[in-house]
Amino acid sequence: FGFAMGMAPGHEFSFERSHFKLTKEYVELLNGWNSPLFQEFRKLFVTGFLQARKNSLIALGMVEIMMYESNYPCFTGTRYGNGVSLKRFENRLMLHIPDDQVQRRAEKLIDQAYNHGGTNLYDKFQNWSNGYAI
């Protein structure tokens, strides 16, 4: 649950600053940026994001239950404990943004995640340090 709760290797100094991983290869699998398949992905991403917001009380309640007496690192310590992870998760749902602006913001998340430099650096580091394929 770490990444979903705002936890990343290296903490504040992490290369991995993208909201989610969307490499060139992922987009190529969908036949490219302008393909109907990728446009369908964008539409489904926005729809999913809107539904996550719509059901945010349920999702936030479930996270709060998971946090109770948890030993998971993403819920403990000074960086993540005392409700910090829950607040970060709530912020990622953009509940403070009016509904009429959410589609544009969700699409911006896709645009920012695509071929993100930090993701590429992190993948190269993982390949170098652990032999993970990139």
For 43, list phi and psi in degrees, rounded to 5: -60, -45
On whether residue 64 sits in a domain, the answer given is yes
For 99, list phi and psi in degrees, rounded to 5: -55, -35
Domain of 29, in residue numbers: 23-125
Helix/strand/coil percentages in the chain, nearest 5: 65, 0, 35
**pLDDT by residue (tens digit) across 34-87?**
999 999 999 999 999 999 999 999 999 999 999 999 888 888 877 778 888 889
On whether residue 9 sits in a domain, the answer given is no
As to burial, measured by CB atoms within 10 angstroms (0-12 exposed, 13-18 middle, 19+ buried), residue 22 is buried
Taking Cα atoms as reference points, which of 63, 73, 75, 64 lies closest to residue 9?
A: 73
On whether residue 61 sits in a domain, the answer given is yes
Split into its structural domains, the chain has a count of 1
On whether residue 133 sits in a domain, the answer given is no
* 48 vs 15: which has the higher pLDDT: 48
On whether residue 1 sits in a domain, the answer given is no
Q: Tell me the β-bridge partners of 22.
A: 114
Taking Cα atoms as reference points, which of 29, 18, 40 lies closest to residue 111?
A: 18
Query: Helices marked H in 55-92 — which ranges?
Result: 56-67, 77-80, 84-92
On whether residue 134 sits in a domain, the answer given is no
pTM (whole model) above 0.85: no
On whether residue 70 sits in a domain, the answer given is yes
With vertex at residue 8, the alpha carbon angle to CA 6 and CA 13, rounded to the nearest 5 degrees, is: 110
On whether residue 130 sits in a domain, the answer given is no
For the chain, what is the mean pLDDT?
Answer: 85
